[in-house]
Each structure stands twice: as C-alpha cells, then as structure tokens.
A = this chain, B = another copy of it.
Amino acid sequence: MTLDRLTLVHALQDTATRLRIASIRMTTAAGSGHPTTCLSAADIVSTLFFSEMRFDPKHPRQVDNDRFVLSKGHAAPLLYAAWAEAGAVDPTELLALRQIGSDLEGHPTPRLPFVDVATGSLGQGLAAGVGMALNGRRIGSPHRTYVLMGDGEGMEGAVWEAATAAEFYRLDSLCAIIDVNGLGQSRATRWGHDLDVLGQQWRAFGWHAIAVDGHDIGALLDALAEARGTAGRPTILLARTFKGRGVSFVEGREGWHGVPFKPDQAVRAIAELEAQFVGGAGGAQTPAVRPPVVPEGRTDVIRPAALPPPSYRIGDEIATREAFGTALAKLGAADPRVVALDADVKNSTFSERFEKVCPDRFYQSFIAEQAMVGLAMGMASVGAIPFPSTFACFLTRAADFIRMAAISNLNVKLVGTHAGVSIGEDGPSQMGLEDLAMVRAEPNFTVLYPCDAVSAESLIAAAAAHVGPVYLRMSRPKTPVIYDAQEAFPIGGSKVLRASGGDVALVVAAGVTVFEALKAHDELKRQGVSIRVVDAYSVQPIDGATLRTAAAAAGGRVITVEDHFVNGGLGDAVAAALADAGVAVHRLAVTDIPRSGKAGQLMDRYGISAAHIVAAVQERVGKGA
C-alpha cells in the first residue's frame, strides 16, 4: 500500500467511525431507529461517498451525479450522517431525526434533495437503481449508480426481477453492494455469511460478483475499482460485515434490530468508537468529495412539440388500449423524456407501437411487473416520463411499488389495460377489478379512465404533461368514438353527455359503462323518462362541481355504474364528492367474483349493463317493479 493510499484508507476509516458515532447519537436522541444496521454498513458508505462516487453535494439532483440508493432504508441515519459529512446537511439538524418538524425521517424520502426515491419497503432499491442507470444511458451521462442493499432483502423476489433487467441491459454502470451482516430482524438470514451461495446466485443471474470484507476499506476500494472496470455486465459486491460493528456489546448479536442505545449505552459505544480513530482525537479529516463529470453541450430544457389532435372520427370503433398505443408512439416521437416499459404484453396493450417508433426508449422487463414499475420509478426520479403498461390486474403485482411511488410522488404514468369483466372469456384472473381501489387509495395519484379513442389520446398527453403519479385505465373491447377530435379533456373535468330540463336521475359512468348509460338514456327516453349522463373520465380528482350541479338538477337521484368491484372505484369517488352536499349515491358495480363468458353477457350478469341502469332509474323514480 502506498503512503497516499494508506492515508486515504485511514481517512475513510475515521470517517466511517464518525458516521457510526453520528448514527448512534441520532437514534439515541430519537429514542427509536436502527443503529446496528448503520454500523454494519458504515465502512461501505464512507468508501463510496468519499472516494468512489463523484457528485456535487451542493446540487444533489444534478443528473450527472453518481446516484446512490439506500435500498436498506432503515439505515437512514447513516445516509443522513454521510450527507452531513459531505456538507449537504447541517450537522446540528441530525439530532432532529424522526421528529415531526424534520425531513430526516425514519426512512428516507425525497423530501430530502439527496434522496431520489423513498426506501424502507425492502427489495425495491435495486429496481430503482436499474432505472437510474438506464436513464443515464438515455441522456448520455457518464454517471455510475450504486445501490446498497441488506442481505435480508435479497429474499424479495423483486430483487431478482431487477437483477435480470440489469443483466439483460448489460448495465455495467450499475454496482450493487449487499451489506451481508447475516442478521435479519427476528433471526439469522437464510444464508448468513455464506458468500459462496450468494455468489452462485448472482453469477447465475448474469452478474459479476465480488466477495469482499465489508469492513476492510482497502478491499472495498479495490472491489469498487474492479466493478468500475467491468464491462458488459453489472457488478455486485457481497460485503461480509457484522451488524453493530465497532461496538463490542452488540457486534454480531441478535436482538438488536431496530433497538436504539439507551443514553448510557450510547456513551459506552461512542467511547469505544472514539478509541478506534487512527488519525488522532476526532479522527483524520474526511476526504473531499469528487465532482461529477458533466458532459458538454447538454441542454436540460425540453420543449416537447405540441401533438396534433387525434385523427379519429365520431363513430369509429377503436379500443382505448389501441388508442393508448397510438398516442404513446406520438408522444414518444415528440418528447425524448417519454419512455415506455412492457411486461411481455406489448401486442395486447399496443405499446409495441411505441417500440416501433422509439426502440431505444422501450424497455422490456419480461413477465416481471415489479421490475417494470420499479425501473419506471427510478427513471422518473431522474427526469424521464415513464409509461409502464400491462393488464390492469397485473399492476396489482406491483402494488407495494405503487405505494412507494406515491410516497415519493414520482412522475410515473401507469397504464392498465383490459379493465373489468368486459374483457370476456379469459376469466377473473385476467380482469382488473380492484385497480381503481388500489390507485385511488393513494391521495396524490391522478386517475384517468377514458371511454373512447379521442379522450384516450387526449388523456395520455395530459398525463405526460402533469407532474406527479398518474394511472390510466384502458379497456379491451372496441368502443365507438363519441368525442370530436378537438375536444379538451382537462384533468379534474368531466363531460355531461345528456341533459335536459326534466332529468329525473343522474347516471355517472366511465369507460365501457358510458355506452351502457347512453343506451339506458335512449331506452328511458322511449319510456318518457329523461336522465342526465356524465362521463367521469377523471376519476381522481373527480369533477365535484359538475357532479353537484348535475345531481341537484336530477332531483338528487344519483346512480353510478362501473366495470370494477363495488368498493373503491367510481361509485365511492362520486359518493365522496357529493357527501357534503348531502347526496347519497346508488352504485352499480361488480359485487361477485366473476367468471368467463362474453363481454356483454358478463356486463349484464354482474349488473352493469344498460338494462340494470334502466331498472335502477325506474326503481328510484318509483316506476319500477
């Protein structure tokens, strides 16, 4: 080891010791948190931040910074301490950890400028890192991406989905590190310190795997250099560590997960750690952070071309899923930030139309929806506008990712096709019937549900222009175009499709049920009964003002009809919007587990066809049986 190298190693060691001390102080002050988890990873983080990584601590969102994802989010104090050491956090703020007035939360969230994606639901960070690394390739940035995982989270299948995506895209700018401390929350991890098994698994998944002593700074430097020099495949460092490293009474012991030190324990622990400084009292100075490499000539200002209006004509029969594919391809051609992700259903969702136009911005996760959404989250966190799409029902596979996307308020545009029983013969496993409930639960999600090709295309563009998470729901059957190509569909709006002075009821529909409502309108009109019909294409936010006016005009009799289970969908959205006006809502929706059959048969059997709307109106106006 040369003297310079030795100096560096000692400085990184002392920095690691400072990170350990800070992590203990923070968690003891908070009275909760995971100090021993921070202690196992401190040498890794010190080496990464203060020797390997290149970034600008004053501008953490600079896209050419190396990215760092703390997938093991419960080591948040370590992350905050490292950014404090780098100058991005006031050290006095650290002791406010977990307090309601501080953004230094129990697990990292993008409220902090140096956090791209929230972590704390284990097994998600790698997919985000893959997305960031792919985005670097898209924008021509030379940055590298680092993901620090725990060994316990390696059991999450999502990790292996992300691993496959990284291998498939030969992401040599990606380096993951597993802090193999051998201890989970409640017991030893499956593989403990057996790096051989872990190495076999990662190599079998196409990664370059390096086993390393995670407390040996020199070895970590060498391993990171080897990763940087590895072409054509991602690298994983399997870093053997000990939970609680550096504090004699907790190191390697079970029963200390998520347990902060009591004040007297903290004093003892810190005294032990201070004795470990190699550079005298307080330790050697932290090495300076290396600045990022910023390519010349990049312009960050994107001015997407305005899209031409849809080319559909009223009466054309086009499925909204097909209109989605067409619109996405147009959008991709106009805006280089727009990317598409598929889980091997591109020929059913029509996202293959985007692939034809923008093959370099089309990402295939194969049948791995968590990876698809997780990659999109990583991409969105660094400036892309990703549209991951699959059948609506299969987005539930990524529900926990979607939950975390909401926490991060990421700019992802989820598209679920084949919504509801109207898919027909494939049966319930292929029917998205709880997707609206899933996304509506997230308070910051926008939820859009077009009924025809014009509104579909318009809402795809609106989703791309909106900043924040969006869900778009598309249907399988062909439906007639009912809107003029010039019609505007603002988020939060709705369309009153039928209205007269004598309306006795309001029917609120969306997607395929709009056409059932229109049929019901015509049938009732033949009977001398007028109803108002609203297309609630913006399910969240819903157009409360229009609904309140329409409900009042229709005598307060409101019926909703939707191709979704009865709880959590359109009916609940309308009911909530009308609650403070004192209007209660009658909901037509699917209330049983459905079965196979033809679309029309199923819509009738499950109570959402025109006939059921007619009956509900009749019943409410006192003319029914």
Contacts and interface: CB of A to CB of B under 8 A. Distances in A.
A160 to B, nearest CB: 5
B426 A32 contact: yes
Given A394-B400, A396-B403, A120 B427 contact: yes
Interface stretch (A17-25, A129-137, A506-514, A582-590): A582-590
A592 B443 contact: yes
A168 interface: yes
Nearest to A408: B593
Contacts of A152: 344, 366-367
B155 A164 contact: yes
B428 A596 contact: no
A121 B567 contact: no
A7 to B, nearest CB: 39
A123 interface: yes
Contacts of A6: none
Interface stretch (A180-188, A313-321, A481-489): A180-188
A620 B175 CA distance: 58
A102 to B, nearest CB: 8
A400 B409 contact: no
A94 B301 CA distance: 61
Interface stretch (A138-146, A234-242, A571-579): A571-579
Contact of A441 (B111, B201, B438): B438
Tell which of A156, A201, A582 has the most Cβ of chain B within 10 Å. A156
Interface string A231-272: 000000000000000000000000000000000000000000
A580 interface: yes
A480 interface: no
A567 B471 CA distance: 15
A187 B591 CA distance: 36
A344 B186 contact: yes
A403 B102 CA distance: 38
Contacts of A581: 584
A580 B576 contact: no
Contacts of A164: 155, 190
Contacts of A596: 98-100, 102, 105-106
A195 to B, nearest CB: 13
A615 interface: no
A493 interface: no
A212 interface: no
Contacts of A111: 595
A158 to B, nearest CB: 5
A568 B569 CA distance: 8
A363 to B, nearest CB: 13
Contacts of A549: none
A30 B597 CA distance: 10
B407 A400 contact: no
Given A347-B185, A575-B575, A429 B156 contact: no
Given A185-B348, A399-B400, A437-B440, A601 B100 contact: yes
Contacts of A540: 567
A204 interface: yes
Nearest to A433: B441
Interface in A411-430: 424-430
A576 B588 CA distance: 12
A522 interface: no
Interface size grouping (class) on chain A: 35 or more
Contacts of A61: none
Contacts of A585: 579
Interface in A155-172: 155-161, 164, 168
A419 B597 CA distance: 39
B584 A583 contact: yes
A331 interface: no
Contacts of A102: 596
A442 interface: yes
A403 B157 contact: no
A109 B428 contact: yes
Nearest to A344: B184
Interface string A375-401: 000000000000000000110110110
A441 B430 contact: no
A573 B567 contact: yes
Nearest to A73: B429
A83 interface: no
Nearest to A159: B157
A367 B161 contact: no
A118 interface: yes
A180 to B, nearest CB: 14
A83 to B, nearest CB: 17
B565 A425 contact: no
B426 A434 contact: no
A80 to B, nearest CB: 12
A158 B155 CA distance: 10
B107 A427 contact: yes
A366 B429 contact: no
Contacts of A593: 406-407, 409, 443-444
19 contacts: A98-B597, A100-B605, A120-B428, A120-B429, A155-B161, A186-B344, A187-B364, A201-B201, A201-B205, A399-B438, A403-B434, A409-B593, A437-B567, A441-B568, A442-B565, A443-B590, A443-B591, A575-B575, A583-B584
7 shortest interchain CB distances as A-B pairs: A157-B157, A120-B429, A100-B597, A399-B399, A434-B441, A437-B441, A106-B427
Interface of A: 30-33, 73, 98-100, 102-103, 105-107, 109, 111, 118-123, 152-153, 155-161, 164, 168, 184-187, 189-190, 197, 200-201, 203-206, 342, 344-348, 352, 364-371, 393-394, 396-397, 399-400, 403-404, 406-407, 409, 424-430, 433-434, 437-438, 440-444, 540, 565-568, 571-573, 575-576, 578-587, 590-593, 595-598, 601-602, 605
